[in-house]
Structure 1
Amino acid sequence: MSDDEDYLDKSPSAARMGKAAEYLVAASCILATGGELNVSTSLVDDEGVDLVFHRRGSSTTLAVQVKARMSTGVLVQQGRFMAFVRSQTFQPRADLDMLFLAVDVERGAIMTAWLVPSHDYDATLSEPNSKGRYRFSASMKPDSADRWTSHRLTSADLPKRILARLSELEKADA
């Protein structure tokens, strides 16, 4: 196992924490938009979709795969975010975004997020690693200028960006 993947050894509470992060995103987006956004969750996550957003009064949807890391993790504490996406379930399409998310567990709050359209993420990929996973690695440092800086968001910016993505998709459908 490479050093990049050592930290992925899952603790018994990893699935619980991941699901809590998804609900944190859903609730904060609904609240921050005064209910303009609505969110659905998947009963089974076998297609790489965790949340589906839509604007009240619109049928356009944005599917989102969430990859969360907690503030208690070594890499997050060092200002680096790293996650892996399974190549078996990653199918880029216009209405799918990847949401990479660092969560402050003490405050129960989003620290930093990256909302990346799946086609943008796909354009950066080479072959998956030996476990069939693609890597996402970004700096959490405010002054960094890595390839993901343009997708980096604060917790306050995330709901606005999701609304903007829905508007882009609505225009494409028109």
Structure 2
Amino acid sequence: MSTADEEYLDKSPAAARMGKAAEHLVAAAAILATGGELNVSTSLVDDEGVDLVFHRRGSSATLAVQVKSRMSTGTQVQQGRLMANVRSQTFQPRPGLDMLFVAVDVEQGAVMTAWLVPSPRFADLVSPPNQLGRLRFSASMKPDAQDRWRPFRLTAAELPRRILARLAELEQPEPA
């Protein structure tokens, strides 16, 4: 599939619907897997690159998350790679923002593989923006892959626990 085709599909109504469904899938799975310890809010308007906001019951810390999902029916995912673009014009790295890249098995309605990357680390590791101002995330889904994104790769079962760990990190007082 050409880059032009990928950009067209990224903007199609079906792609937007599938992306929103993937966000809700992640949110529901996180709540269920933690026995309701995690709660999730969604944005009515996504103009700041935040799709989900996680918080732990009884805590004031929040983790904003931008979700980029790709479906199992896509050529790249079938070939064992997840590729996604992040608009550099709206990307503002900060401690309480993570980037979540997920491959979704559409037949099972489940997360296959995920990468939860704190936005400051994403900014450090990603290549400079392309001519369209997009930051390209490209990670292997192969179990033995050792690419730069490997430390952030998670199974569906590991993702909710990692979100809880990120919230615990954010609860720590800032060093003076």
Fold in common (TM above 0.5): yes
Partner of 1:87: 88
Q: What is the alpha-carbon distance in structure 1 between the residues aligned to residue 135 and residue 146 of structure 2?
A: 21
Q: Deviation per CA, 1:118-156, whole angstroms, max 9, x where unpaired?
A: 000000234311221100000000111111111000000
Matched letter for residue 130 of structure 1: Q
Question: Aligned partners of 1:94 and 1:157: how far apart in 2?
Answer: 21
What's 2:162 paired with? Answer: 161
- Post-superposition Cα deviations, 1:27-80, rounded to whole Å, max 9, x if no partner, equal 000000000000000000000000000000111000000000000000000001
* Paired position in structure 1 for 2:43: 42
Which consecutive residues of structure 1, in runs of 5 or more, have no partner in the other structure? Answer: none
Match for residue 8 of structure 2?
9
- How many pairs are equivalent? 173
Q: For residue 7 of structure 2, what is the amino acid of its counterpart?
A: L
Letter in 1 for 2:123: D
Question: Deviations 1:60-105 (Å, cap 9, x if unpaired)?
Answer: 0000000000000000000011000011110000000000000000
Partner amino acid, structure 2, of 1:82? M
Shift of 1:3: 4.3
SS at match of 2:8: coil
Q: TM-score, normalised by structure 2?
A: 0.94
Runs of 4+ in structure 1 displaced over 6 angstroms? none
Aligned equivalent of 1:138: 139
Aligned position for 1:129: 130
C-alpha root-mean-square deviation of aligned residues, in Å?
Answer: 1.5
1:8 match: secondary structure: helix
Which stretch shifts more, 140-149 or 125-134? 125-134
Secondary structure at the residue paired with 2:173? helix
Q: Which consecutive unaligned segments of at least 5 residues does structure 2 have?
A: none
TM-aligned CA deviation for residue 9 of structure 1: 2.0
Kindly indicate whether residue 121 of structure 2 is the aligned counterpart of residue 120 of structure 1: yes
3-state DSSP of counterpart to 1:100: strand
Identical aligned residues as a percent: 73
Decide whether the 8 Å contact of 2:127 with 2:136 is kept in 1.
no
